[in-house]
Amino acid sequence: MIQAQTQTPEYWGLKFTLTEKDIEQIYNHFLEVERPQIAAELVKVVIAYRVADELRNVERLLSGRTVYQPQNSYEVGQQLVFPAMQFVHGEVTAVRKGYNPQYGNFNVVTVETNGKLREFATDLQADHVRNADGADLMTQLLNVDTDRLYELYGHKVEKKLLKQLETSSEFVRLGEEWFVKALMLEINIGHLHLAEAILEMSEGGPLPTTEIIPHLDLDADADLSVRRFSLNEALLNDERFDEIAPAGKVAWFLRRMEPDGVKETPERLQYTAVSYDRALLSPQLLTLERELDDEWSELDPVGTADATTLTLTYPHRWAGTLPLSSRTRPLFPASNSPRQRVIFVDEGTGDEIVGWVVQHERYIYGLKDWYEENGLAVGGYIYLRPGTEPGKIMLNYDRRRPQREWVRIATVADNRIKFELMRRSIGCGYDDLLIVGTDVVTAIDALWRRIESQQRSISSLLAELFPQLASLTPQNTVHAKTLYSALNMLKRLPPGPIFAELVRHPAFKPVGDHYWRFESENWRG
C-alpha cells in the first residue's frame, strides 16, 4: 500500500521547510478569523494546507489517466499512471502474452515513460500489493486525521514556523499569541496618555488590559482580543509601562511608581563578574557552592518549582530582598517583562506582602519590613513554597522563642573591619557558620564604599578578615561558609571566586571539613 507523504515521519523531518505559500496560508487565516492566534493554531493551519495540497496534487496527477493495477487489462494507446513510482505516467505501446509457473497465464504491456520503454504484468489473477494503490492513497488523503498529525509532528513544525514568523515584519508576537500588523488597531499617543492616567489613579497598578480598554474609546466593533492585543503591544513598546504579571497573565504597572529598589538595583546587590579558574574547585567545594546557592553562582537551575529552604545573607538582609537563585527561580517563572509582581503569604500570620521579581539582576524585592518585624538574622533559615495560585508564594522562617546567642558582630576601627563575639537575642533558626551582624550599619556601608573605590583584590580582603574571624575560635581556623558570609559585608561576591582564591593563594591552608588556616608568613599581597 502506498502511504501519503504527509502521513510519514520523513515528510515532517529534518528536510521539512516552510514555503511562501505556507506563510500566505497563515496570513489568509488571520484575515479570515480576524483575531490573534496561538502557535498551535497556526501549525494546524500549515498541516491542513499541506495535506490538502497533496490531495490536489494527487488528483491532478491522476486526472485523465488510469491507475495501473496488475489485476486489470489495458489496451494500446491507453494512458497509465504509477503512484508507486512517484506518479510516473506513460502510454501503452504494445501488449503480449506472458506465463509464470507461479502465476500462470497473464499479459505484459509495454509502456513508454519519459522516452523509455518499460514492461508491466497485467491480467494477473493472484493478489498483488499494487492492486489497491490509487484507491488506498485517495482514501488516506480524504480521511486524514490532522489532529493526529499535529500530535505526532506539530512540535517539529512549530519550531520552524516560529523561526520563520519572527523574521517577518508582517507578524507580531506577544507572549504565546501572534497577529498581523494589518489588522491591529491604531493606538495613538492620546490613548497612551489616558492609560497612564488610569494607572496613576490606581496607585500605579497593577491593572489587566481589560480594565484599561473601556476608558480608551477603541473601536467597539473590533473583537476584544484584537483590542487587547493592540493595546498590549503599544504599552509594551512604551517605557512608561511595565508588564508585571506572572507567566500566563497580563497586568500593567506604571514604571515611575514602582519601588526604588525595583527601578534601580540596591547597591549592595550589584555584582561585577570576577574571572576565576573553576577548575581549582574540588568536588567538595562545588557541593558547598551548591548548598549556599548564591544567585550569581554558575549553577544549573533546579528543574521544578518545589518547597525550598535558603539562608539569608548580609546583602539581602540589608536590601530587604531574596536571591533569584537555582533553587528559588523555578518558584518565579519568567514572564515577558524583566520585572514581575508577586504576592508573598506569611504562613504564620496569613498576611500578604507585595514582592517584585527583578529577573536580570536576580533578586526579589519587598521583604525589608518583614525581616525587621520578625527579627530575621543573617544566616537565618527562610522557607518558600508554591502558593495556591500563580503569582503567590508561601513564605515562612524557622520560628523560635528569642534566646540570647553568641554572634559574630562586626565593627569598624581605623577603616578596617573587626569582629567580636557578642550576645544577641535571636528569634529564628540559623546556620551558625553564616551568622554575622553589626550594630554600625552606616560605618560598614562607608567601609564597603571605600573598598569599592579602591578596587581591592579578593585575597587582600580575605587576609584582612581571616585573623579577625580566626581569633574567635580555639582552633584559629575559619570555615569557608563563614568567610563567604563575612566577606559579603565588604564586597558582593558569590562563593566561586572566594573558594578559588583560597585554593590558589599559598597563605590559605585547608585543614579539613572546609575549615581553613591563614599563614601570614606566606602572605604576599
Residue 266 lies in a domain: no
**pLDDT score at 443:** 96
The DSSP result for 402-416, as a single string, is: EEEEEEEEEEEETTE
Q: Is residue 264 part of a domain?
A: no
**Does 28 reside within a domain?**
yes
Q: What is the CATH number of the domain that holds 85?
A: 2.30.30
Q: Among residues 349, 384, 400, which one ends one of the domains?
A: 400
Closest C-alpha among 163, 176, 179 to residue 16:
163
Q: Is the domain of 234 the same as that of 293?
A: no
Task: Looking at the structure, tell me whether residues 394 and 339 fall in a common domain.
Answer: yes
Measure the CA–CA gap between 486 and 491, rounded to whole angstroms: 9
Cell of 450: 571605600
Do 23 and 154 fall within a single domain?
yes
CB 501 within 8 A of CB 458: yes
Same-domain pairing of 160 and 33:
yes
Query: Is residue 271 assigned to a domain?
Result: no
DSSP designation for 81: E
How many domains are contained in the chain?
5
Domain around 463: 402-522
Count CB-CB contacts under 10 A for residue 8: 11
Work out whether strand 399-413 and strand 436-438 pair parallel, antiparallel, or are unpaired: parallel
Say if residue 32 is in the same domain as residue 172.
yes
Residue 156, class by beta-carbon neighbours within 10 Å (0-12 exposed, 13-18 middle, 19+ buried)? middle
Do 154 and 21 lie in one domain? The reply is yes
Decide if pLDDT at 137 tops 60.
no
Written as one letter, the residue type at 261 is G
Most confident of 84-93, 124-133, 433-442: 433-442
Q: Tell me, yes or no, whether 492 lies in a domain.
A: yes
How high is the mean pLDDT of the chain?
Answer: 90
How far CA 267 is from CA of 264, 319, 411, 461, 495, in Å, comes to 8, 8, 20, 19, 19
Q: Are residues 86 and 209 in the same domain?
A: no
Which of the four pLDDT bands, split at 50, 70 and 90, describes residue 132? Answer: low
* Statement to judge: residues 195 and 87 lie in one domain: no
Domain contains 220 = yes
- What pLDDT is attached to residue 496? 97
Lowest mean pLDDT among 88-102, 293-307, 421-435: 88-102
CA proximity to 244, closest of 255, 233, 234: 255
Domain co-membership, 57 together with 82: no
On whether both 462 and 495 belong to a single domain, the answer is: yes
Cα separation, 430 vs 215, in Å, equals 51
> What is the arithmetic mean of pLDDT over 269-294?
95
Q: Which residue is listed with cell 499479459?
A: 107
Residue listed under C-alpha cell 561585577: 272
pLDDT tens per residue, range 67-124: 777 777 888 888 887 777 677 778 888 888 888 877 778 888 888 888 888 888 888 8
**What is the per-residue pLDDT across 357-414, written as a single tens digit (0 to 9) for each?**
999 999 999 999 999 999 999 999 999 999 988 889 999 999 999 999 999 999 999 8
- Kindly state whether residues 228 and 313 are assigned to the same domain: no
Q: What CATH number did the domain enclosing 239 receive?
A: 1.10.10
Residue count of the chain, please give it.
525
Residue 282 lies in a domain: no
- In this structure, is residue 449 part of a structural domain? yes
Q: How sure is the predictor about 142, in pLDDT bands with cuts at 50, 70 and 90?
A: low
Query: 359 and 322: one domain?
Result: yes
pLDDT surpasses 90 at 128: no
Q: What pLDDT was estimated at residue 274?
A: 92
